[in-house]
């Protein structure tokens, strides 16, 4: 009986330390970013991406929840969604700038998804769109980064076709 109390007390002490240090209070999006993506979660992420790809705010929320699933087919889906928003929905660029300002990790994630899996037409359109904010002080630096990423992706795409 004394042994059982000792073990229980040790376990409770350990749990108390974990939560006291904040290790048990990691937000879900951060916790999932460090773990693997189970097949069920990956499947759910893929099916929900269809609805999230229409605007930056929805894509941001989706990416936060399913950060650990950003690989393979879903990663290509993210690239397609990001490219579509930069190429076809440039009118939403202000929303992206606001999100990028408050969430630099999201900005880096989106820029990373401008890659060679995207169509050359979309990459060329991204370059054209990013040239329109040359006189926009708030977005000029960001546009340069976007333009460079699209240009690099075009070069990689051409190299891969050789």
Instruction: State pLDDT tens for residues 67-87.
Output: 999 999 999 999 999 999 999
pTM: predicted TM-score of the whole model, two decimal places: 0.76
Give the model confidence (pLDDT) of 12-44 as tens digits: 444 444 344 343 333 444 333 445 899 999 999
Q: What is the DSSP string of 19-67?
A: HHTTTT---HHHHHHHS---HHHHHHHHHHHHHHTTSHHHHHHHHHHTG
Taking the C-alpha atoms of residue 29 and residue 105, their distance in angstroms, rounded to an integer, is: 12
């Amino acid at each position: 009986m004394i042994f059982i109390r000792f073990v229980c007390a040790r376990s409770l002490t350990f749990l108390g330390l974990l939560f006291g240090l904040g290790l048990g209070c990691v937000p879900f999006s951060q916790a999932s970013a460090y773990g693997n993506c189970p097949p069920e979660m990956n499947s759910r992420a893929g099916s929900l991406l269809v609805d999230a790809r229409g605007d930056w705010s929805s894509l941001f929320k989706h990416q936060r929840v399913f950060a650990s699933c950003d690989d393979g087919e879903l990663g290509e889906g993210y690239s397609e969604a990001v490219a579509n928003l930069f190429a076809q929905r440039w009118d939403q660029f202000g929303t992206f700038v606001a999100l990028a300002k408050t969430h630099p990790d999201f900005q880096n994630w989106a820029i990373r998804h401008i890659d060679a899996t995207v169509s050359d037409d979309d990459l060329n359109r991204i370059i054209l769109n990013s040239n329109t904010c040359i006189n926009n002080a708030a977005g000029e630096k960001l546009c340069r980064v976007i333009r460079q990423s699209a240009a690099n992706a075009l070069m990689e795409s051409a190299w891969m076709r050789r």
